[in-house]
Structure 1
Amino acid sequence: MAKDAALPARGFSDDEFRARTALAQERMRAAGIDALLLTTEPEVRYFTGFLTRFWESPTRPWFLVVPARGDPVAVIPSIGAALMRQSRLSDIRCWRSPDYADDGVSLLAAALAERVPASGTIGVPDGAETHLRMPLSSWAALKDRLPDRRFAGDAGILRQLRMVKSPAEIARIAAACAVAGRAFARVREIARPGVPLSEVFRRFQMLCLDEGADWVPYLAGGAAPGGYGDVISPATDRPLARGDVLMLDTGLVLDGYFCDFDRNFSIGAPAPEVAQAHDRLLDATRAAFDAARPGATAAELFHVMDRICTGGAGGSDAGRLGHGLGMQLTEPPSLIPADATELRPGMVLTLEPGISLSSGRILVHEEDIVIRDGGADWLSPPATALEVLT
């Protein structure tokens, strides 16, 4: 790791999780929700700090019950008990999973019955960018066991809470951005004419790890003459050549939080159209940064960038020009014309304008920012020019 790398202390204080729980419970009581039932990794981790790569396995379900009063209850496979005991939770109920006959359903039903009165409401996140991480058969069995409780949406509580980050969360994201910034500063070590794009991808992930990333679950990009065709395809073995534009877009993780920004590199001197397009992308990003103030909306940031990139034509097939960022690579809001979410201090966003070139190829640029009381701050070290690699 670089000698000057300064990584924050791991994890969060119990007070951080108490504050998150208290905010959720205040909103639950206002919405008439007696308990939240949470089943996905970021939802469970948000209230407990339960950080593990074991979620990569789809075999076992994991549950967290957040009552309108009192501490959350974890209902989890016994393989996770030792780690969950490191959290502030004291009520941790376990079973041996997988259990084909009853994979935690009876334990979960009992916990909900204790915390939710008859005719009470159990809220489950149900909006965009949510999902229910349990088998459909288990979901049906759970509802059958609790016929006198009502299952409903969570009134957007998780979405609203998670969009606004605490100072401790922002510090984690800033540290992740710093790691990626140091890795991008070393791209010259791994990318030059003749090096296959697939090797650049592998070695860039190694640079991220060397600079302090815990893991690199997301790396996308491309390289082709005068731009690239898309930003999601796997790397090929085609060697870099003069005239190519190389783009690397990384979502590395540090202490459970993502960064998400990219950098473009010209292999040899860029064509005039490429250089001009990249300058417009930087202009669009800076304009959105200046407009990113409390009270502005996600839609307004879209239009600020779109006017510079397309003259107000409505964006590209990418669908949006940025998004929220945090425990997941992409979070609400989406920077699209239809998203009227008002920006609030503590929101972390990506700004991601794109431009189509006459060749049919594209260029995309992305930075990470945080909304403060007086405007925005950069979290990623902002690019100032198209770097040329020889």
Structure 2
Amino acid sequence: MRPRDNPPPRGFPEAEFAQRTEKAQAAMAEAGLDALLLTTEPELRYFSGFLTQFWQSPTRPWFLVVPAKGKPVAVIPTIGAGCMARTWIDDIRTWSSPQPDDDGISLLSQALAELAGKTGRIGLAKGKETHLRMPLSDFESLGWSLPGLAFEDATAILRGLRMVKSEREIEKIAHVCDVVSGAFGAAPELFAAGQSDIEAFRSFKIECLKRGVDDVSYLVGGAGQGGYGDIISPPSGRRLRAGDVLILDTGCLFDGYFCDFDRNFAIGRADDAVRRAYDVVWRATEAGLEAARPGATCAELFAAMQGVLGDGGPQGAGGNEVGRLGHGLGMQLTEWPSHTPWDRTLLEPGMVLTLEPGMTFAPGKVMVHEENIVVREEGAELLTRRAPPELPVI
């Protein structure tokens, strides 16, 4: 891995995008698809390198077509032409948007007819954890304009490509994981009794930005006396006091790639039940680290962590209703696969994952722990700096 104080270069060489496209086209040929129609931010960025925060506006649709041969073709609003021109994409077709009567649909229809034929089979993400990101009425209009087209589910193709990261992708994720690990290491200077949870969150965000992340786009957590029960609500203004347990769970960005992990802290003191719960989830993560090897399934990874949680006491993980114990990580905060009893995805070298065991250890009290790893030939490699085996007390 690159030294911690030397961030990886931004962007990717054209060869990386060419390789991604070629792999997609090989899978398309096997599935009998004539083109892929991509409509969401991570899909467009994966094949083009088009990185912008302008996606936060829902006003304009954006399209990328991957043909059976050759480079992708961008069909985008004119406002994005300059940014797209700085990618490896050569064929950029634009229209003035927003255009209520025809917001790019005629232009997209022409591109699909040209690249796939009027009776082609077009791959589109239709499965779980996907969305269309264009008005349904516009998608219907597209079908009416080319009645011979067939839209097939290409989720498996996109999932298979994006689950296994290149070394350049892994390097970016490793860098942001390390930067944020350093920010968590500064906890004694950031958090204190008497501070409001709003102030704690703000201090942590500022620390992450100072250390070099591009954005703190996801930060949730909670605090409560003897443990917390809710970690997804915004901070309330409640002040930290002795006996509280504070958790912060963050997804920070570097060059469009996320980390996603949490850390727990006791304020002033921690009672025995809290310490035991922390020990259980820490050991469950150890079991996950040992189980995350090529050829294992996500279900087996879940079982390894769940086995430790189930031994954590009479309440154990039986009160855990979050549905999974971790997931994929990359251009999105959560990606495929999921660590669940039903996900039989085989782990492969290059997969970047979170390990996120959590348990209910008392009525209304939970303990959650999370680390980020990459699967290597020899097993799991930590991307985060491992949390201490005992609950830190501030």
Scaled to the shorter chain, the TM-score interval is over 0.9
Match of 2:385 in 1: 381
Deviations, residues 238-266 of structure 1 (Å, cap 9, x unaligned): 11000000001110000000000000001
Q: Distance in 1 between matches of 2:310 and 2:322?
A: 13
Match of 2:226 in 1: 226
**Greater Cα shift, 256-265 or 115-124:** 115-124
**In structure 1, what residue type is equivalent to 2:378?**
G
**1:338 and 2:338 matched:** no
Q: Distance in 1 between matches of 2:97 and 2:90?
A: 21
Q: Distance in 2 between matches of 1:141 and 1:176?
A: 42
Q: Distance in 1 between matches of 2:319 and 2:225?
A: 23
Cα distance change, pair 357–52 in 1 and its aligned pair in 2 (3 A): same
Contact 1:265 1:386 in 2 (8 A): no
Q: Distance in 2 between matches of 1:364 and 1:28?
A: 40
Contact 2:264 2:392 in 1 (8 A): no
Contact 1:266 1:386 in 2 (8 A): no
TM-score of the aligned structures, taking structure 1 as reference length: 0.97
Contact 1:191 1:389 in 2 (8 A): no
Cα distance change, pair 68–211 in 1 and its aligned pair in 2 (3 A): same
Which structure 1 residue ranges, 5 or more long, are not aligned?
none
Sequence identity percentage = 55
Contact 1:5 1:212 in 2 (8 A): no
**1:71 and 2:71 matched:** yes
1:186-335 aligned within 5 A: 186-311=186-311, 316-335=320-339
Q: Distance in 2 between matches of 1:264 and 1:155?
A: 36
Cα displacement (A) at 1:314: 6.0
**1:37 and 2:41 matched:** no
Cα distance change, pair 264–40 in 1 and its aligned pair in 2 (3 A): same
Q: Distance in 1 between matches of 2:205 and 2:155?
A: 39
Contact 1:165 1:346 in 2 (8 A): yes
Contact 1:192 1:389 in 2 (8 A): no
Cα displacement (A) at 1:11: 0.5
Q: Distance in 2 between matches of 1:127 and 1:314?
A: 29
Cα displacement (A) at 1:9: 0.9
Q: Distance in 2 between matches of 1:315 and 1:66?
A: 45
TM-score of the aligned structures, taking structure 2 as reference length: 0.96
Cα displacement (A) at 1:387: 4.6
Q: Distance in 2 between matches of 1:51 and 1:118?
A: 31
Aligned residue for 1:388, secondary structure, equals coil
Cα displacement (A) at 1:280: 1.1
Match of 2:368 in 1: 364
Q: Distance in 1 between matches of 2:198 and 2:390?
A: 22
Contact 1:268 1:388 in 2 (8 A): no
**1:119 and 2:123 matched:** no
Which structure 2 residue ranges, 5 or more long, are not aligned?
none
Match of 1:6 in 2: 6
Cα distance change, pair 299–314 in 1 and its aligned pair in 2 (3 A): farther
Cα displacement (A) at 1:386: 3.8
Cα displacement (A) at 1:203: 1.1
Match of 1:352 in 2: 356
Contact 2:248 2:262 in 1 (8 A): yes
Contact 2:112 2:118 in 1 (8 A): no
Cα displacement (A) at 1:6: 2.2
Aligned residue for 1:221, secondary structure, equals strand
Aligned residue for 1:200, secondary structure, equals helix
Match of 1:94 in 2: 94
Contact 1:252 1:258 in 2 (8 A): yes
Q: Distance in 2 between matches of 1:97 and 1:307?
A: 54
Q: Distance in 2 between matches of 1:21 and 1:314?
A: 44
Cα displacement (A) at 1:269: 2.1
When the two chains are superposed, the root-mean-square deviation of aligned CA atoms in Å is: 1.4
Q: Distance in 2 between matches of 1:6 and 1:247?
A: 29
Q: Distance in 1 between matches of 2:393 and 2:228?
A: 17
Contact 1:40 1:131 in 2 (8 A): yes
Cα displacement (A) at 1:214: 0.4
**In structure 1, what residue type is equivalent to 2:389?**
A
**In structure 2, what residue type is equivalent to 1:72?**
P
Contact 2:35 2:66 in 1 (8 A): yes
Match of 2:135 in 1: 135
Cα distance change, pair 28–6 in 1 and its aligned pair in 2 (3 A): same
Aligned residue for 1:268, secondary structure, equals coil
**In structure 2, what residue type is equivalent to 1:86?**
R
Contact 1:63 1:76 in 2 (8 A): yes
Cα displacement (A) at 1:155: 5.3
Contact 1:306 1:314 in 2 (8 A): no
Match of 1:24 in 2: 24
**Greater Cα shift, 47-56 or 356-365:** 356-365
Cα displacement (A) at 1:178: 0.9
Q: Distance in 1 between matches of 2:155 and 2:254?
A: 30
Q: Distance in 2 between matches of 1:360 and 1:4?
A: 39
